[in-house]
Amino acid sequence: MAGWDSVKRELLTFDDVVILPGLAPLDPSEVDVSSRVTRSIEVSIPLVSSPMDTVTEWRMATVLARLGSVGVIHRNMSLEEQVDNVRRVKNQSPSPWSEVPRVDESEPIENVELRLLETGAAAAAVFKGSKFRGVFVMAGHDTGFWGRKASALVQLLLLVKPLPTIDGEGRLRVGAAISPFDIDRARALEKAGADFLVTDVAHLHNREALSSLARLVKEVNIDVVAGNLGTKQGVLDTLAVAEEIAGLRMGISSGSICSTGEVTGASMPTLSAVMDAYEALKELGAEEKIPIIADGGIRNAGDAAKAIIAGASTVMVGRLLAGTDEAPAPKVSIGGSLYKPYRGMASRGAMERRYGVDRYTRKAKIVEEGVEGLVPYKGSAIEVLLEFVGGLQAALGYAGVASLREAWNASLARVTSQGVSEVRPHDVITR
């Protein structure tokens, strides 16, 4: 059989492995999770929002950059709209307290309300000196939402102390998705202030796509992240034609709304894709130079930690953030519960909205490789970030490392199918 040798290979998903515990050098809350998204862009929190039209526009990218992460503006819009989204992020205040102003308890209520009107927030974090005293919420606003958002912000800033992701001029950083074939859009986004570009191609390991990528990286003076890729050979071939690449986006068909594996039979689980990429970079002596972004199937901080131990520098998430207030899709009420729409960028609805020649238009493919659905409404993205960082620090603490960089020396181990069920809560009725 022609493909039998490759069939002998086993591919691993996040559920197939566990993190082996190691000797922890410090308390989990002290683990340094700072990393790099590209060769030149550092982040305090190793999370990147996916360029999907139900996840990342200027509002999501703004809150993430203010809190030490970064967002990638989707390209399922006109060039003018995408440029406007980038410019809006660059023009926002980088202060995390722009999300929920910090006030002193001695400040008159009238002054606090005036500040809230100026910022567009409906709540303030009240301090007495350096001590957090509580949350002030303006009358007529959702006290639950604003209370949780303000409390999460305070905890994140006081416990994790993330630095805003800013450029040399003190402006928030933001990425933008592009087709490798659209050099004009790439130039326009660079001119608008985008800090890095992410090629948004389902299967970049394609002669025409790689040829266009090679031209693209020479036409812009900002970092370009190449993706999506799945294999070691894909990484080697990409770097052979575009050695200037500043990052790798790894994973094919692992996302919760991606149906590529089902529709076409083609897939490369994110964990295995990251392992392949790390092996390729190590072979080239570039594992310390070119960051790997694990993209697809990241359900929680545990999955993120496994991807990082496998060699990733950051993780790209969609579903984790799609249910938040900052995601662009509207809230939907069903049976007394709130949800937000979430769809794959190769779903019918996304393709119908698509502009330009790219991987998803009918000109390129006649089959949908994504689905549309709903995810539970979660409140603010700040709450998601707080939970993500706490979980990631705990996971790396179990791994016995003091920093994300050290995590590459930690270990993963295979677990049996029976072991998978044992790892999760079992033999009880959960509430």
Q: Which residues are catalytic?
A: 258, 359
Q: Does residue 38 contact residue 14 with C-beta atoms inside 8 Å?
A: no
What is the enclosing helix (H) or strand (E) of 353? helix 348-353
CA–CA dist 341, 377 (Å, integer): 9
Q: Which residues contact 181 (CB under 8 A, 6 or more apart)?
A: 208, 209, 212, 357, 358
**Of 397, 400, 378, nearest in space to 389 by CA:** 397
Q: Does residue 201 contact residue 225 with C-beta atoms inside 8 Å?
A: no
Q: Does residue 204 contact residue 229 with C-beta atoms inside 8 Å?
A: yes
**Of 134, 95, 141, nearest in space to 117 by CA:** 141
The token duo for 22 is 């190691």
**Of 217, 290, 221, nearest in space to 250 by CA:** 290
**CB count in 10 Å sphere of residue 395:** 25
Distances, alpha carbon 47 to alpha carbons 141, 142, 156, in Å: 30, 28, 14
Chain centroid to Cα 283, Å, comes to 27
CA–CA dist 81, 327 (Å, integer): 16
What is the enclosing helix (H) or strand (E) of 103? strand 102-104
CA–CA dist 196, 71 (Å, integer): 10
What is the enclosing helix (H) or strand (E) of 147? helix 143-155
